[in-house]
């Protein structure tokens, strides 16, 4: 659905990372974790295309006005990397953006009996918060969070407040363990032999490592991908990735915007 | 005041208003049905179709540029069998003409596609793409050599009784010469422009951004070029011309009509505003109302030079 949203708040949570809360249509409370939104940053031709962002959180709060029904909000967690996110970061309470949401196919919540392992790198934790919120109370959830340095580690307290066991690692050791988050996660998966499902979102090298661990350990695993998008609805075919059976003679391209952004790792070609 | 008449006719296809959706920017119609009332636009033009499914180019395939975007999708499409089986049933449910855009590697392939599409009642007309810059084989030679264009249009003409629109490439020295060749081969209408070949470079890696190196430029950045070409071609041929290129608003669309277009197509604008085509038609109507114009056809080619 397409709607004009009002910005409720837009805070810098760590250098270069912002958390934006906007008003949303009540139907958005039905969004699946892993789905995303397309944001028209300005009503102008620069930046031209919409920008995709994962759904960090959706919820309802009592209205500011007594007697009025509750209000639905949607949150995004974003990193400033270029024109669009730069512009977004200048917005304040009361400003507007145009939103299309919810888009894409989200995470499969899987068997409640199995432990859920969430792995996020940098701003890749964005869709994992709403996932964690949906999973806790249903399954046991552990969250492995990695970044280059302490500034890339976001929202740890939010996850802990959900009651999720959280493990942090940074490449330079400025927060949590020193090293790769995937190494810490792999140790846990191998030591604790029970059946699990892994959910991962972050940079491609991290996702490749996670997919490798899932394959070796026979663990089921879903990854959330990023791709450059123009339409967000399966029409332009700009966002495709290679599916498992892709070959020159047997094209198997999957749309990240429509078939994903969440894929079972064994549905994709990783080379 | 009575509502103004926005209807136009292209080669026997009656459009309730002059706004169509450009091929490749609107999927097969279905993708946008939740965002736009398809019965408020003139026609739907579907993604370029080939005989066999086509994989398209490696990624990255798109890149935003100043006032526009580059794409090198490489004509990925489901192929005609899957089109008939999976896409036509939806088009049947919509009370708006569907025009099928297609391309082949050889004259024979173009003719075969036309023959097969001729038999599908849901297909109101065909738009032959002789202008895609993103495929290595075929395509482009038909779009840049008048003789080749003539032979392909002629073959399609003989294969179907349905309206045949030829979509021209702007990547030529003389667009009028191309238009003449297609008109001589009895095309019913011409649409222009397709994308302009461009490229984007990443200074950091010193590499092209698109995997295909070059891509097709579309969006507001191309509008002045498109307007010029529509104007030149509309003056030169007797068949209707459809204007395409950077149309974002009713004003843009009406400028194309003044330049000589009978109808327009909206492409890139669908990505930023999925309801763009419906909105543009409404904005055109509003302009007519505001200016006391009773029939949009009065504006076609009304440019004073
Ligand atoms: C499904 C999906 C969900 C996403 N969720 C989030 C999120 O929750 N939080 C977040 O911060 N980011 C997210 N992204 C990435 C985000 O869309 C891009 O960072 C953003 O579009 C960049 O816009 P810009 O105008 O600031 O950058 P631009 O000026 O367009 O580009 C600056 C740089 O960013 C890179 N970039 C541009 N677009 C993308 C893209 N789509 N994916 C990756 N890199 C890109 C380019 O390579 C370029 O070098 C998501 C992307 C997708 C596809
Ligand atoms: C992503 C994308 C895919 C396209 N695919 C096709 C196609 O399959 N066949 C075709 O004839 N034109 C195709 N085009 C060209 C458009 O139909 C149109 O001619 C062009 O984008 C200029 O119009 P615009 O500036 O309004 O986008 C494509 C354009 C884009 C942006
Ligand atoms: S972004 Fe257009 S098809 Fe995915």
Nearest ligand, CA A228: 1
Q: Any CB–CB contact under 8 A between A65 and chain B?
A: no
What are the b/e assignments for B98-117, b being 16+ CB within 10 Å?
A: bbbbbbbbebebbbbbbebb
- State residue B207's pLDDT score: 97
Would you kindly state where each structural domain of chain A is located, as residue ranges?
2-103, 107-222, 227-271
Q: Which residues of A touch B273 (CB under 8 A)?
A: 40
- Topology of A107-222 in CATH? Rossmann fold (3.40.50)
Check residue B132 and give its pLDDT: 54
List of chain B residues whose C-beta atoms are within 8 Å of the C-beta of residue A231: 25, 31, 270-271, 274
- Element of type H or E holding B199: strand B196-199
CB neighbour list of residue B93: distance below 8 Å, 6 or more residues apart? none
A-chain residue closest to B76, CA distance: A237
Give me the residues of chain B with pLDDT under 70, please: 1, 132-140
Nearest to B62 among A46, A228, A241 (CB): A228
Domain A2-103 class, CATH top level: mainly beta
- A83, B45, B212, B215 from B208: Cα distances, Å: 20, 31, 8, 10
User: Which residue shows structure tokens 């339409």?
Assistant: A231
Going from N- to C-terminal start, the domains of chain B cover 8-56+74-198+215-299
Q: Which residue bears the tokens 């763009």?
A: B276
Pocket (CB within 6 angstroms of ligand 3): A 229-232, 234-239, 255, 257
**B76–A100 C-beta distance less than 8 A:** no
Q: Which position has the token pair 């995303």? A: A36
H or E segment and range at residue A11:
strand A2-14
A233 touches chain B (CB under 8 A): yes
Per-residue pLDDT, B140: 63
Structure confidence at residue A251 (pLDDT): 80
- At a CB cut-off of 8 Å and minimum separation 6, what does A165 contact? A141, A142, A143
Name the residue with the closest Cα to ligand 2, atom 28: B24
d(CA A98, nearest CA chain B) in Å: 9
- Ligand 1 atom nearest the C-alpha of B64 is 30
How far apart (Å, rounded) are the C-alpha atoms in residues A239 and B56? 12
- Report the alpha-carbon distance of residue A235 to residue B71 in Å, rounded: 13
Instruction: Using alpha carbons, select from B36, B98, B91 the residue that is nearest to residue B276.
Output: B36
ipTM above 0.95, yes or no: no
Give the pLDDT score at B136.
47
- Phi/psi zone of residue A232: left (φ > 0), alpha (ψ -120 to 50 degrees), beta? left
Total Cβ atoms within 10 A of residue B235: 15
pLDDT in tens, chain A (271 residues): 999 999 999 999 999 999 999 999 999 999 999 999 999 999 999 999 999 999 999 999 887 777 777 899 999 999 999 999 999 999 999 999 999 999 999 999 999 999 999 999 999 999 999 999 999 989 999 999 999 999 999 999 999 999 999 999 999 999 999 999 999 999 988 888 788 999 999 999 999 999 999 999 999 999 999 999 999 999 999 999 999 998 877 788 999 999 999 999 999 998 7
Ligand nearest, relative to CA of residue B32: 3
CATH class of this structure's domain B8-56+74-198+215-299: alpha beta
A201 is in an annotated binding site: no
Report CA(A2)–ligand 3 centroid distance (Å): 16
Describe chain A by its helix, strand, coil percentages, rounded to 5.
25, 35, 40
Q: Which residues contact A74 (CB under 8 A, 6 or more apart)?
A: A5, A21, A22, A23, A24, A28, A31, A37, A55, A57, A58, A99, A101
Question: Reduced to 3 states, what is the DSSP secondary structure of residue B229?
Answer: helix
Active site residues of B: 132
pLDDT by residue (tens digit) across B74-91? 989 989 999 999 999 999
| B20 contacts B242 by C-beta, under 8 angstroms | yes
* Nearest CB to A253; choose among B25, B56, B62: B56
- The tokens of A25 are what? 């249509």
> For residue B146, what are the CA distances in angstroms to A193, B174, B177, B191, B238?
69, 10, 7, 16, 18
Topology annotation, domain A227-271: Dihydroorotate dehydrogenase B (pyrk subunit); domain 3 (2.10.240)
The pLDDT assigned to B253 comes to 98
pLDDT recorded at residue B135? 47
**B69 shares contact with chain A (CB less than 8 Å):** yes
Q: Dig out the tokens for B232 from the structure.
A: 């030149």
A92 burial (CB, 10 Å; 0-12 / 13-18 / 19+) is: exposed
pLDDT of residue B128: 95
* Residue A16 zone, left/alpha/beta (φ > 0; ψ -120 to 50; rest): left
DSSP three-state, residue A13: strand
């Amino acid at each position: 659905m397409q709607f004009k949203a009002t910005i409720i708040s837009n805070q810098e949570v760590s250098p270069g990372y912002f958390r934006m809360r906007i008003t949303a249509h009540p139907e958005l409370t039905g969004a699946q974790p892993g789905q995303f939104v397309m944001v028209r940053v300005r009503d102008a031709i620069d930046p031209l295309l919409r920008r995709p962002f994962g759904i960090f959180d959706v919820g309802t709060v009592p209205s500011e006005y007594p007697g009025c029904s509750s209000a639905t909000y949607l949150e995004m967690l974003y990193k400033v990397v270029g024109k669009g996110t730069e512009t977004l970061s200048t917005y304040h309470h009361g400003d507007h953006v145009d939103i299309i949401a919810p888009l894409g196919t989200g995470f499969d919540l899987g068997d409640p009996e199995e432990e859920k392992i969430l792995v996020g790198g940098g701003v890749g934790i964005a869709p994992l918060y709403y996932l964690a919120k949906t999973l806790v109370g249903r399954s046991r959830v552990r969250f492995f969070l990695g970044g280059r340095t302490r500034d890339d580690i976001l929202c740890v307290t939010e996850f802990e407040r959900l009651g999720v066991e959280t493990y942090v690692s940074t490449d330079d050791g400025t927060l949590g363990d020193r090293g790769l988050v995937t190494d810490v996660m792999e140790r846990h998966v191998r030591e604790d032999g029970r059946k699990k499902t892994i959910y991962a979102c972050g940079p491609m090298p991290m996702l490749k490592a996670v997919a490798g661990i899932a394959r070796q350990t026979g663990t089921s695993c879903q990854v959330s991908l990023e791709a450059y998008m123009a339409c967000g609805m399966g029409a332009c075919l700009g966002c495709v990735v290679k599916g498992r059976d892709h070959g020159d003679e047997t094209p198997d391209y999957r749309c990240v915007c429509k078939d994903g952004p969440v894929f079972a790792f064994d549905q994709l070609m990783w080379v | 005041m009575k509502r103004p008449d926005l209807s136009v006719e292209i080669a026997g296809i009656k459009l309730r208003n002059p706004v169509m959706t450009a091929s490749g920017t609107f999927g097969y119609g279905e993708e946008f049905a939740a965002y736009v009332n398809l019965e408020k636009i003139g026609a739907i033009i579907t993604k370029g179709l080939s005989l066999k499914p086509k994989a398209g180019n490696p990624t990255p395939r798109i890149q935003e540029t100043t006032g526009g975007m580059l794409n090198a999708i490489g004509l990925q499409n489901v192929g005609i069998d899957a089109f008939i089986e999976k896409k036509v049933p939806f088009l049947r449910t919509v009370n708006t003409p569907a025009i099928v855009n297609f391309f082949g590697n050889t004259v024979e392939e173009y003719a075969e596609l036309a023959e097969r599409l001729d038999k599908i009642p849901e297909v109101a007309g065909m738009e032959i793409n002789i202008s895609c810059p993103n495929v290595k084989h075929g395509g482009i030679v038909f779009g840049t050599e008048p003789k080749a264009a003539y032979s392909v249009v002629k073959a399609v003409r003989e294969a179907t009784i349905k309206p045949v629109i030829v979509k021209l490439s702007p990547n030529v020295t003389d667009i009028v010469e191309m238009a003449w060749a297609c008109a001589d081969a009895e095309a019913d209408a011409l649409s222009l422009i397709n994308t302009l070949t461009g490229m984007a470079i990443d200074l950091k890696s010193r590499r092209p951004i698109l995997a295909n190196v070059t891509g097709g430029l579309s969006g507001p950045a191309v509008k002045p070029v498109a307007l010029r070409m529509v104007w030149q071609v509309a003056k030169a041929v007797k068949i209707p011309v459809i204007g395409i290129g950077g149309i974002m608003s009713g004003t843009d669309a009406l400028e194309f009509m003044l330049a000589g277009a009978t109808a327009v197509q909206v492409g890139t604008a669908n990505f930023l505003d999925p309801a763009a085509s419906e909105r543009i038609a409404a904005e055109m109507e509003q302009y007519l109302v505001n200016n006391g114009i009773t029939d949009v056809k009065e504006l076609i080619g009304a440019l004073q030079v």
